[in-house]
Structure 1
Amino acid sequence: MAKVDDRSLEQATSVEERKGKGLKFWLIILSICVSLFLSAIELTAVSNALPTIIADLHGEEFVWIGSAYALASTAILPASGGLAEIFGRRSTMLSSLTLFAIGSAICGAARNMNMLIAARAVQGMGGGGILSLSSIIISDLVPLEERGVYNGLIGLTWGCATAIGPLLGGALAQNGLWRWLFYLNLPIAAIAALLVVTCLHLRTPTGTVREKLGRIDWIGNILVTSSAVSCVIALTWAGIRYPWSSPQVLVPFILGFLGLGFFLFYEARWAKHPIVPLSLLSNRTSLSGYLQTFFTPIITLSVVYYLPVYIQACKGHSPVKTGVDLLAVSLSLGPAVIVSGVSIAITKFYRPQLWIGWVLLTVAIGVLSTIQADTPIAQIIGLPILIGVGCGILMAATYFPVLAPLPVSENAHALAFFAFCRSFANVWGVTIGGTILQNELSRNLPAEFLSQFPGGAEIAFSVIPVIHTLPEPLKHQVQVAFANGVSKIWLVMIAIGALGLISSLFMKALPLHTEVDDKWGLEGTEDIKGAMSVQKFTIALNPTEKEISTQSQKRESRLSTARFSVVDFTAGGARFI
């Protein structure tokens, strides 16, 4: 057998490293950022344009425009990891982008509320898949210890989208062009799909379609989807359409949570191909990470949805001006994500960043709760900077405690459940805030003014456009009612922040993975790895006396790093070094 010298081995290693972080790799990262931009801008742009959309379609139950998206997104997330494992990352990502584009096109063409709500559900299925697959693909290509840097790039994408979203949504809404909020998704989705098709050549699992369909946990998917839908329906109706104590809320809420509990039991006991393996929750560090992942979006979404309500109601700002006022949040969030991610990549620690993030966010929400109807606008614009920093740190760091204790082979399932927790929390953030504000407005708005508007969730959004036209002292009384209602939201968010901080105390300081799952990765790299394996095995089988004396130490170090077992044939037989 021919021998290969160390120079050839080093050249092969160099080629492999260059191939892993070459142009194709960065184009894949670009495709992920473009795809995530779709989901991020959807979060902020639509909420700012919501009053205009409701008025144009003559609708009332505005809550379902947001809830239909969240419901479908939440329901699809646990299954997305299993689909990516069975059908491959590229096919699943393309399917998600296609669903998002179809839903966007129908949203733009909607002629009534029912059509818009149905289209938002389709859009949500695609958006949920995009969020999950983006994290999974990065975990396939980048080891956990390096991932903080790439989280920074994703954070920059989110920062740009959250800065542009409110301005874009407000500008289009004020000019009667809200449908273009959805139509503009189509060219962006097309660019993302083109990048995925041309660049995302990750290895695809073998097998026929029938074999792959047989590996899907159908019962588990039905259980988690129906349970999540039941919970989301209850949360959407609670305190807005029906009282919390009503059967319409309690029955789906109880059934949903019982269903989620039975789903976890089924996955642990009977599922052959579980979509949420019990091992994901079997250690306190991962459990702490999932809890922090759940608490963070509750606070973030409350700020995104209800700080604009305060600004428009109490300061009389237009949707566009409100978007400008909120730039402090979005412009501080992106850099915070980058700094947090880079610091984790450099220090290999994640606990200090999370503790700092929770303290900052909780303190910032506490200060925000002191804002009153007559608080100067300068103070209102400045305070959310701390909120953006705290949220940015937590967005970048929460999944490190989730993944650090788990083997890399569990990345897809772990990250799909991670995205599920985050999406499920989004619904809680919107619903808790809406319920508190609704109850406070019903109790504190002047009776003669409140009688002019229908009860239920429409109060918050239908009153805002007319507040600036009210005579004094009625105008001030209404503004005080809104300010007090929003302040109560921040008080509840302080408690949520405290829960997040407490849950962060249970995580351990674990080393970050230095490897990725070998069965995934860019196509073609397996050939180089195979050649390297043959070269190493050849050197082990055919050592000369000179090589033994001059190269054995370097070879042994290199081979142990690569995790190869080298066979040493001696006169007495074979033994493993």
Structure 2
Amino acid sequence: MYPPRPTYTPRSSYPPPPTRRNRTVTSTAVKPKRGLDFWLIFAATAMAGSLSALDTSCIPTALPSMVADLHGEASFAWVGSAYTLASAAWLPLTGALAGAFGRQPIIVLALTLFFLGSVLCGEATSMDMLIAGRTVQGLGGGGILAMSEIIVADLVPLKERGAFMGIMSLVWALAGSIGPLMGGALSQKATWRWIFRINLPLTFLAFCLVVGFLKLKIPSGSIKQKFKRIDWFGNALIAASTCSVTIALTRGGVEVSWSSAQTIVPLILGLLGMVAFFAYEAKCVAEPTIPFDLLSNRTSAAGFITTFFHSIVAVAVIFYMPVLFQACFIASPIQSGVDSLALAITMTFASLFGGVSAMVTKRYVPQNWIGWILMTIGTGCLSLLQSDSPTAKWVGFQALVGLGLGMVWTTVKFPILAPLPVSRNASAMALFTFFRTLAQTFGITIAGAVLQNELKMRLPTAFLTLFPGNVDVSFAAIPVIPTLSASIRVQVQDAFAASLSIVWKVLLTFCFLGLLTVVLMKEVELHDETDENWDLSEAQVLVDTEPVTGLRSRRNRGQETTTEQGRSPSPVLI
């Protein structure tokens, strides 16, 4: 027996969206078939989403080659951080733009930005140009991920969404598993520039599919009216706050000390800005970028918090496992990609299993428990690895982490969406992607800072003298290690293994925190509704952009009509 789904407290300026208890429901025993248009749209969004995964997963194995080629030892961390920073800063605005201008224009804009960023990265002649290209890519990649989530949420009711989310995660994970191998092969046998150039035809194909087949409804109203609906100040505040925090975390311990004003001031200002943003959104805005009712029930709030901790662990493991293989085991870029397959393959199948099992069992809490337990055990085991650990150990430990990461990757969306009305799909998925991307920024920078500080304490002094004082040695040192004498090489390998052990222990803390958030989740019935304002029926017909949203039950359509009693409008903590 499930507890009832909660409603949220509507703003006085507009009526609440219909709930399952206060709307008119039509019923039928026949489930509508999905036509070719649906499957083409789904294929387009899956392909678009895979672009970001492929690009992100290629970078770690090829990064040492990029650093050596562009002489970017002092700023290499920004290659990853610039991408996630740009994604996170732009994401809160994505949901608002998608609601005001429609789904197709925003995902087309995102694909265009991703294409332009890939051109800049592929032709970069300096580390600064590469970082600029990654920033533009991040704007596009973040929009692609958010819009993929929003479009699937528009078209598929939550009760049936498990299989579709599993397929999306499978495509994402497959791209992620190919990425390290492709990045290593291209950087070793050709040039790392092809990592970005290969995005161009794939992005163009996704662009054509989206333009040709994503024919969803378009909101009515003039351009001026649509721009007035968007909370520009709130978006500017969260973007500036996100940038401030990320800059502090990226520079701290590398370019400047953690105790310096250059680290502390932007960090404090950024955190205060984030608090101010949520206070401003809750009290001062009629149509907020992030509606506060998304966090008004504990199950959805727990889902967002879980997303944050999960993403920190996921991106740090994906980003720094190649360092283990290349620094400790002297693996080539191609070999490190092969060595990472244990993580990628288990993530792939666990993510598919998580989504399908949630759809079949109509439950999502057990999968989150299992995922976090496996993730915690696996991350703890990673901290035991040494430079001479046998293959069976690092393969098995990766598999444990991959199973946990994949299971949570898919099922964390259910506790977020189940308690909310479908009119909040776009805002919820934009906030979900924001939390995920912001956490990825934190994961890369925190793990990088820990690794850098530990290496400075553990590496032999004779080896450290090869690098300037402000250089992050974690990636810069990798091409040098095979050239060292045997005695120095062993010391460097041991130093990397011990330093990475501390990184895994830090991530273990986030695993425990994620495990605790599952306690806050409760099983809420998975609804079978979609938002009629964004479905495929009568596509291209203008819709009212007011927040009043029509609901359609995929299961309960037909001739028979029943009216159910309303429920209390006050929010319920579940």
Q: Does the pair score TM above 0.5? A: yes
Partner of 2:58: 45
Aligned mates of 2:471, 2:53 — CA distance in 1: 25
Aligned mates of 2:91, 2:437 — CA distance in 1: 8
Deviation at 1:557, TM superposition (A): 8.6
1:56 aligned to which of 69, 92, 97: 69
- Per-residue CA deviations over 1:379-419 (Å, capped at 9, x if unaligned) read 21232111111100010011111111111101111110110
Deviation at 1:556, TM superposition (A): 10
1:559 aligned to which of 554, 558, 561: 561
Aligned mates of 2:462, 2:125 — CA distance in 1: 34
Partner of 2:370: 356
Deviation at 1:525, TM superposition (A): 6.8
- Per-residue CA deviations over 1:467-498 (Å, capped at 9, x if unaligned) read 22322322211111100000011111111100
2:191 aligned to which of 177, 181, 187: 177
Contact 2:231 2:289 in 1 (8 A): yes
| 1:22 correspondence with 2:15 | no
Partner of 2:406: 392
Instruction: Rate the CA distance shift 1:151–1:457 in 2: closer, same or farther, 3 A.
Output: farther
Partner of 1:479: 493
Aligned mates of 1:122, 1:525 — CA distance in 2: 31
Question: TM-score, normalization: structure 2?
Answer: 0.88
Q: Aligned with 1:560: secondary structure? A: strand
Q: Aligned with 2:526: secondary structure? A: coil
Deviation at 1:283, TM superposition (A): 1.1
1:237 aligned to which of 236, 245, 251: 251
Contact 1:162 1:330 in 2 (8 A): yes
Contact 1:350 1:509 in 2 (8 A): yes
Deviation at 1:112, TM superposition (A): 1.5
Deviation at 1:458, TM superposition (A): 2.5
Report the more deviating stretch, 167-176 or 385-394.
167-176
Aligned mates of 1:246, 1:62 — CA distance in 2: 21
Contact 2:215 2:539 in 1 (8 A): no
Superposed, 1:484-523 pairs within 5 Å as 484-523=498-537
Partner of 2:7: none
Instruction: Rate the CA distance shift 1:358–1:178 in 2: closer, same or farther, 3 A.
Output: same
Deviation at 1:303, TM superposition (A): 1.1
**Counterpart code for 1:395:** W
Deviation at 1:145, TM superposition (A): 1.1
- Per-residue CA deviations over 1:290-343 (Å, capped at 9, x if unaligned) read 110000011111111211111111111100000001111111111111111011
Partner of 1:460: 474
Aligned mates of 2:141, 2:315 — CA distance in 1: 16
Aligned mates of 2:372, 2:288 — CA distance in 1: 33
2:124 aligned to which of 86, 110, 127: 110
Deviation at 1:499, TM superposition (A): 0.3
| 1:323 correspondence with 2:323 | no
**Counterpart code for 2:120:** I
Aligned mates of 2:557, 2:509 — CA distance in 1: 56
Aligned mates of 2:127, 2:382 — CA distance in 1: 35
2:463 aligned to which of 439, 446, 449: 449
Aligned mates of 2:206, 2:194 — CA distance in 1: 19
Query: Over the residues paired in the alignment, what is the CA RMSD in angstroms?
Result: 2.1
Superposed, 1:198-277 pairs within 5 Å as 198-277=212-291
> If each structure's helix is expressed as a fraction of its own residues, which one has the higher value?
1
**Counterpart code for 2:52:** S
2:421 aligned to which of 385, 403, 407: 407
- Per-residue CA deviations over 1:156-195 (Å, capped at 9, x if unaligned) read 1122111110111111111342111111111111111111
Q: Aligned with 1:512: secondary structure? A: coil
Q: Aligned with 1:505: secondary structure? A: helix
Aligned mates of 1:462, 1:473 — CA distance in 2: 20
Contact 2:217 2:540 in 1 (8 A): no
Instruction: Rate the CA distance shift 1:270–1:480 in 2: closer, same or farther, 3 A.
Output: same
Contact 2:302 2:518 in 1 (8 A): yes
1:36 aligned to which of 45, 49, 52: 49
Instruction: Rate the CA distance shift 1:146–1:464 in 2: closer, same or farther, 3 A.
Output: same
Partner of 1:551: none
Contact 2:28 2:558 in 1 (8 A): no
Contact 2:60 2:320 in 1 (8 A): no
Question: TM-score, normalization: structure 1?
Answer: 0.88
Q: Aligned with 1:298: secondary structure? A: helix
Deviation at 1:247, TM superposition (A): 0.9
**Counterpart code for 1:23:** L
| 1:191 correspondence with 2:205 | yes
**Counterpart code for 2:70:** L
Q: Aligned with 2:125: secondary structure? A: coil
Superposed, 1:304-315 pairs within 5 Å as 304-315=318-329
Partner of 1:156: 170
Contact 1:438 1:457 in 2 (8 A): no
Deviation at 1:117, TM superposition (A): 1.3
Deviation at 1:217, TM superposition (A): 0.7
| 1:166 correspondence with 2:207 | no
1:72 aligned to which of 69, 75, 86: 86
| 1:373 correspondence with 2:375 | no
Partner of 2:8: none
Contact 1:69 1:123 in 2 (8 A): yes
Report the more deviating stretch, 501-510 or 461-470.
461-470
Partner of 1:84: 98
Answer 1 or 2: higher relative contact order, Cα 8 Å, separation at least 6.
Answer: 2
Instruction: Rate the CA distance shift 1:16–1:346 in 2: closer, same or farther, 3 A.
Output: closer
Aligned mates of 1:195, 1:176 — CA distance in 2: 30
Aligned mates of 1:13, 1:375 — CA distance in 2: 60
Partner of 1:145: 159
Aligned mates of 1:251, 1:237 — CA distance in 2: 12
User: How many percent of aligned residue pairs carry the same amino acid?
Assistant: 47
Report the more deviating stretch, 453-462 or 88-97.
453-462
After the TM superposition, which parts of structure 1 deviate over 4 Å for at least 4 consecutive aligned residues? 12-16, 554-557
Consecutive unaligned residues of structure 1, counting only runs of 5 or more, are 1-11, 528-553, 566-577
Superposed, 1:520-531 pairs within 5 Å as 520-524=534-538
Aligned mates of 1:466, 1:111 — CA distance in 2: 22
Give 1 or 2 for the bigger CA radius of gyration. 1
Aligned mates of 2:125, 2:557 — CA distance in 1: 70
Contact 2:60 2:322 in 1 (8 A): no
Consecutive unaligned residues of structure 2, counting only runs of 5 or more, are 1-26, 542-555, 567-574
Aligned mates of 1:136, 1:41 — CA distance in 2: 20
Report the more deviating stretch, 209-218 or 234-243.
234-243
2:135 aligned to which of 118, 121, 124: 121
**Counterpart code for 2:441:** V
